Amino acid sequence: MVAKLIPVIFLIVGLGAGIGAGLVLAPAKKPETAVAEKEAVKEDKSAGKKTGKSKEKGEGESFGYLKMTKQFVVPVVKDDQIEAMVTLSLSLEANPDITETFYAIEPKLRDGFLQVLFDHANTGGFDGAFTESGNLDVLRNSLLEVARKEFGDDVSKVLILSVNRQDS
């Protein structure tokens, strides 16, 4: 008889504990206040999207980092033969408000970046001491021009996170 009551007792205790936890962990705000705050946030976001560009830098807005989802692989060609492969990881220092737009047009941006990287490789930019700061500054500035064509002043820097050259 007692063995049949144990599951019922556990059921009642579990139900009571669940109700107690729900009361203790209930949100402190009234539902009307939460809905009003949510609508205010939506209005702020939509007001920023209407212009297409974000706020000016002078308003103390900080920059965030937008990482390109994949590495760039660039062949180094010499005498019609692939002499080496260079892989790069890039990020942009940019206004956080453009994050959604950035990921939406990333394929177009990657295409522009790849063209710059191929041109850099074809002019000997990845030959010799290619990691010298002067060589990398030229590459960064060229990549920044491409990024600014799409985003304007919302992008402040192109960051080269890693560079690797694999000779064949």
Question: Three-state SS across the chain?
Answer: CHHHHHHHHHHHHHHHHHHHHHHHCCCCCCHHHHHHHHHHHHHHHHHHHHCCCCCCHHHCCCCEEEECCCCEEEEEEECCEEEEEEEEEEEEEECHHHHHHHHHCHHHHHHHHHHHHHHHHHCCCCCCCCCCHHHHHHHHHHHHHHHHHHHHHHEEEEEEEEEEEEEC
For the entire predicted model, the pTM comes to 0.62
User: Are 22 and 102 part of one and the same domain?
Assistant: no
User: Are 72 and 115 part of one and the same domain?
Assistant: yes
User: Are 109 and 133 part of one and the same domain?
Assistant: yes
User: Are 69 and 89 part of one and the same domain?
Assistant: yes
User: Are 45 and 63 part of one and the same domain?
Assistant: no
CA atoms within 13 A on the CB side of 157: 9
Tell me the residue range of the domain where 42 lies: 2-50
Question: pLDDT (tens digit, 0 to 9) for every residue of the chain, 168 residues total?
Answer: 778 888 888 889 988 888 888 888 777 665 555 556 656 655 655 555 444 444 444 444 688 999 999 999 999 998 889 999 999 999 999 999 998 999 999 999 999 999 999 999 999 888 888 888 888 899 999 999 999 999 988 999 999 999 999 998
User: Are 32 and 68 part of one and the same domain?
Assistant: no
User: Are 141 and 75 part of one and the same domain?
Assistant: yes
Number of separate domains in the chain: 2
- Structure-token match 């990333």, residue found: 106
User: Are 123 and 81 part of one and the same domain?
Assistant: yes
User: Are 118 and 69 part of one and the same domain?
Assistant: yes
